[in-house]
Amino acid sequence: MKIAVLMSGQARYIERSAEWWKQRCFTDKTNLHVDYFFNLWDDGTDNLDDRVKHLYDAKVVDLNDWEQLGRNHIEQVKNGNESANDWWLIPEYVEHTMCFRGAEVSKYSWNFAGMFIGTAKMAETFEPHFWQYDVVIKTRTDTILNDMSPQHWHNLFNNMLRNPVFNDNIFTPWLRIRNGLPFFGDLAFIGKPKLMQRFMKNMDKNLVSLATHDKHLLSDYLIDPEIPFAHWLWSRLSMYSRTDWLAISVVWPTPFDACLLRNDENVVGHSFKHLCETYKRHEEQTHDVIFHKVGDSKN
């Protein structure tokens, strides 16, 4: 079975990430053929593409200039809204975050579109190769997956591929409907190559559409302020590709999980549980958001 791991966006903790993916996640013992593909923002460091290719033994490493692509995106959105009279559809923070209304663009707004445009660029990198693979994992360089046993990986992928019920679904670590809004874990998406390509392709153009003539999809009553807007937006963008979603636990009862690396310390000497707990503590300490645990009731 051939697996393609796609990583896009910023090159965060690439050394530690490579250690985990190559030494703990997909080793020779998993008996899976795994290739790594990258489309990253050029961070200006020396030989980033060569370093990434060496660390992961990567199949392809493409670098992009975010300054140029970011400016182009903002220009398209501003031009598309020159004569807009539908601002009443969206709340003020969406106006400035996605639609760049006004003269100034904050640092957060400037970076906001990066993950989605990076995903579209990843589709360009993977386009010549996707037909060669059975399963695709789309993620980012600072994401690590639970180092499950080979049996769990094979059970998960085999059931995903052989069960016709799952033919049209991309899978996410978890999925919830909160206040009527779909919200799912976006640290890793897993699916068949054709589905993944369809989801990723043209996401940059779809983001412009959302910020201009499709503002009704971002209307105030649809947006729950308790849900981080950037992460909820994946579900809006997936409407353009008609993507169906399921949580991985629906496919097979595996201990699949994902978390982010939040420092540049050694990882291979730690358990995934320890790294996951470190990530959760970091999120709770640094983000001023309301966390809802499963089973909590709302007033």
Write out the chain's pLDDT in tens, 299 residues: 999 999 999 999 999 999 999 999 999 888 999 999 999 999 999 999 999 999 999 999 999 999 999 999 999 999 999 999 999 999 888 898 999 998 889 998 999 999 999 999 999 999 999 999 999 999 999 999 999 999 999 999 999 999 898 999 999 998 887 767 777 889 999 999 999 999 999 999 999 999 999 999 988 666 655 667 788 899 999 999 999 999 998 888 899 999 999 888 889 999 999 999 988 887 776 655 444 444 454 44
Q: Rounded to an integer, what distance in angstroms lies between the CA atom of residue 213 and that of residue 69?
A: 21
Q: Rounded to an integer, what distance in angstroms lies between the CA atom of residue 265 and that of residue 217?
A: 41
Q: Rounded to an integer, what distance in angstroms lies between the CA atom of residue 17 and that of residue 11?
A: 10
Q: Rounded to an integer, what distance in angstroms lies between the CA atom of residue 11 and that of residue 38?
A: 9
Burial 212-240 (b: 16+ CB within 10 A, else e): bebbeebeeeebeeebebbebbbbbbbeb
Global pTM exceeds 0.75 = yes
Tell me if 37 sits within 8 A of 129, measured CB to CB. yes
Q: Rounded to an integer, what distance in angstroms lies between the CA atom of residue 95 and that of residue 174?
A: 29
Domains and CATH numbers, the chain: 2-286 (3.90.550)
